[in-house]
Structure 1
């Protein structure tokens, strides 16, 4: 069974008006356990990271202000959550979950983080509910520890991975691939190594066609020895913050493509959940649970 990072603080309650995005982190593991997709021993609780791994990606001044809760109010507004010690601890632990998950994936082939996918965090600032960039931190950790030489980040959230693109802009050891909604946030996008901007209401057929024509080619050309996959389910047509037109089945087929290729080429993969903002929480949980179900069927 593949390992899954989860810590009780992932579901830390926020003030009224900020709670809905966080509910899924509590409900998703419950659903996976209830249906028997995974067992309780699949989960591990990440501790706090060594700060050198955070500072390998993020600027010291920003991290210091974040931990001391001394960020400029304008910077806090860009994050979108009220800043608190509990929220910062949550972000640190989920970053460590991705670091440990990456290590575990080297042994098991695949590992998950119930949270994570905080791809809007830049080297020097946070935005859009992202304080620290967990997969960027994990990728740099593997490189620094010489556990990987070439990393491919596959970001299939509906929003462009702008922070990830900025962080690895001049790093030839990391190839950033983002396939996202053209008219979705962020409205001023960064430049990934490969960006595919999809038109509004792109449906399952077109989405899957583009992914099938792109990802195998990327893997063959870049020859990564590790992949980070951001599996946001905000590509659904029902998503409040997304503008694409995919169905639950299309989202599941997307996961199948990614996992099948990772398995075929024997490339370890760490998976972070990313976004999902459909009005019905059942839709969000079903879409995320499908990602785990697909992994079970392949690995």
Structure 2
């Protein structure tokens, strides 16, 4: 008998942010992903609406002066350029809802084993400043929430192509949170921080090398640290067609990665809260298709596979062999 369907967290505001024409950030992908899941038969009532993050919790990660300036629009122009978005009240509301959504996903994962957030992965936000399209570090806030709930060890397993520098810096002196980043060596950020486990991949790394790195890193970290929760950043900017990624991972490779991470954690009895992370193709349909691999893997593991797509026929036959 299959497990319960994974918990799902979403809010329409994720794609309701006005950005300058041709802005690099693909703001429409959240709505497109939500709509694609509904087209695959996931009913609207399966999604929980994200709620704004508790500011008291956010203050456990971010410096009060930074939060005050950020939320009131008083950050200077240089600080906003580093973030990469023009300031607006909608931007702040969206950011707080996204952080809240990752916290909700963590709560659901701790209750039921697996939850997926249709946003999240803002790992370039440091305690006192934002960077790289990241205002608030939802991964860090969610990890702190889990510790507050009595979890003794959290693994943040970050597979976004960009190093999770903000997360690494925030938890540099926190032994209860293990930070892991598998990223492109020659990609943003230029100055890397030191995670508990960093694996820098050569440009143009393709499926075999990439999947071996994911598998070996995950198995080692699970065995060594025995976490009670995994927060998984399933960024798809590792894709061979990503405009900013510099790697050469195929859509099948992403699907195999997501199946690998979720299945290994399920076998070990470790709850997983997953966020979709980065992805920067301008082709929104292809971008959405790549993000869908996480959800396909999650529903298949629950024994409730989504309707098969021609590109997914391999997974139905081969996925059990990957576990």
Further displaced range: 206-215 or 173-182: 206-215
Kindly report which structure 2 residues correspond to 1:144-163, keeping only aligned pairs within 5 A, or say none: 144-146=148-150, 148-163=151-166
Native 8 Å contact 1:10 1:25 kept in 2? yes
Query: Contact 2:24 / 2:280 at 8 angstroms: preserved in 1?
Result: no
2:77 aligned partner:
73
Whether 1:297 and 2:300 are equivalent positions in the alignment is: yes
Residue 179 (structure 1) aligns with: 182
CA distance in 2, matches of 1:219, 1:19: 35
* Secondary structure of the corresponding residue to residue 228 of structure 1: strand
* C-alpha distance in 2 between matches for 1:236 and 1:66: 32
8 Å Cα contact 1:3/1:43 also seen in 2? yes
Q: Does the 8 Å CA contact 1:2/1:42 hold for their aligned counterparts?
A: no
Deviation at 1:20, TM superposition (A): 5.1
How far apart in 2 are the matches of 1:56 and 1:114? 24
Instruction: Find the aligned partners of 2:215 and 2:7 in 1 and give their Cα distance.
Output: 27
1:120-159 equivalent positions in 2, closer than 5 A: 120-146=124-150, 148-159=151-162
Structure 1 segments unaligned to the other structure (5+ residues): none
Contact 1:12–1:87, Cα closer than 8 Å, also in 2? no
Give the structure-1-normalised TM-score.
0.97
Contact 2:17 2:91 in 1 (8 A): no
Choose the corresponding residue for 1:227, options 227, 230, 239: 230
Question: In the alignment, which residue of structure 1 is the partner of 2:33?
Answer: 28
Q: Distance in 2 between matches of 1:193 and 1:19?
A: 30
* C-alpha RMSD over aligned residues: 1.0
Aligned partner of 2:172 among 169, 174, 179: 169
Displacement of 1:18 in angstroms is 2.8
| Structure 1 residue 80, shift from structure 2 partner | 0.3
Partners of 2:168 and 2:195 within 8 A in 1:
yes
Q: Give the gaps of 5 or more residues in structure 2.
A: 303-323
Query: 1:113: how far off?
Result: 1.1
Which residue of 275, 284, 287 corresponds with 2:290?
A: 287
- d(CA) in 2 for partners of 1:227 and 1:88? 27
TM-score (norm 2): 0.90
In structure 2, the residue corresponding to 1:22 is in which secondary structure?
Answer: coil
C-alpha separation between the residues in 2 aligned to 1:19 and 1:179? 23
Cα deviation, residue 28, structure 1: 0.3
8 Å Cα contact 1:18-1:81 kept in structure 2: no
C-alpha distance 209-19 of structure 1, shift in aligned 2 (>3 A): closer
Q: Determine the C-alpha separation between the residues in 2 that align with 1:156 and 1:66.
A: 28
Alignment match, 2:49: 45
Q: In the TM superposition, what is the alpha-carbon distance from 1:44 to its structure 2 partner?
A: 1.0
